[in-house]
Amino acid sequence: MSTRIYTRNLPKPTRVTSHANALTRASTTAYSTRSKSTSAANTADDSGEKHALSWAEYLAIRGKKRRWELATTIPITSAAAIAGISYFGANTPQFMGFDPLLMSIVGTAGVAGLGYLISPMLGSQMWKLTHRSQLGLIEEKEKLFHQHIKRNRVDPSTQSTTNPVPDFYGEKIGSMKEYRQWLRDQARYRKKASWGPSN
């Protein structure tokens, strides 16, 4: 006697298998998404650490910026002086009875002085145009640098003709070596202000 197995009423596994496969794919996709997000976050952190400026790098950049400002001083001041000579040479000024030649000299000197004053600002703007990709990092470091300067610089109220304040704003600092020298100058100033100049 043979036994027959009727499978007509058994549930078909097709739909369950389909759901299981869908869940597996969804889980895999979610894991992959989390992995990519974590990887992207780690990459961003690594990138931020990689591109953060060290003090040595920042001070080197600061020194180059100062050289840009100084490099523009001579040509801009000279151009302003030439423009003043050309103008006042052709248009002799008359002012309250003063000697016209004297007024021409004063006017030319004034124009040259104005060129001298604005040349560092022009040099700074030109420098920024060539370092736009790093401006955010530089400005962030600049704030910290000025905090260091304010915290370590001397009290200018104790200065005298024999003991002037050494670089109050730290404008001449362009390297770690110059920064350490600046700190020594501040300490030397404090010592002289407290005990008087040594013989």
Question: Confidence class of residue 51 from pLDDT cuts 50, 70 and 90?
Answer: low
The average pLDDT across 17-35 equals 49
Look at residue 20 and tell me whether its pLDDT is greater than 90: no
109-to-31, 105, 122, 150 alpha-carbon distances in Å: 73, 6, 20, 35
Look at residue 189 and tell me whether its pLDDT is greater than 90: yes
The DSSP call for residue 133 is G
User: Do 126 and 64 touch, CB atoms closer than 8 A?
Assistant: no
Question: Confidence class of residue 93 from pLDDT cuts 50, 70 and 90?
Answer: low
Strand, coil or helix: what is 69?
helix
Strand, coil or helix: what is 199?
coil
Q: Of 7-21, 145-159, 167-181, where does mean pLDDT reach its minimum?
A: 7-21
Question: Confidence class of residue 32 from pLDDT cuts 50, 70 and 90?
Answer: low
Look at residue 168 and tell me whether its pLDDT is greater than 90: yes
pLDDT of residue 66: 87
Look at residue 37 and tell me whether its pLDDT is greater than 80: no
Look at residue 1 and tell me whether its pLDDT is greater than 60: no
Look at residue 24 and tell me whether its pLDDT is greater than 60: no
Q: Which residues contact 80 (CB under 8 A, 6 or more apart)?
A: 111, 112, 114, 115, 116
The average pLDDT across 124-138 equals 87
pLDDT of residue 27: 46
Structure tokens belonging to residue 171: 């404008």
Look at residue 187 and tell me whether its pLDDT is greater than 90: yes
pLDDT of residue 150: 94
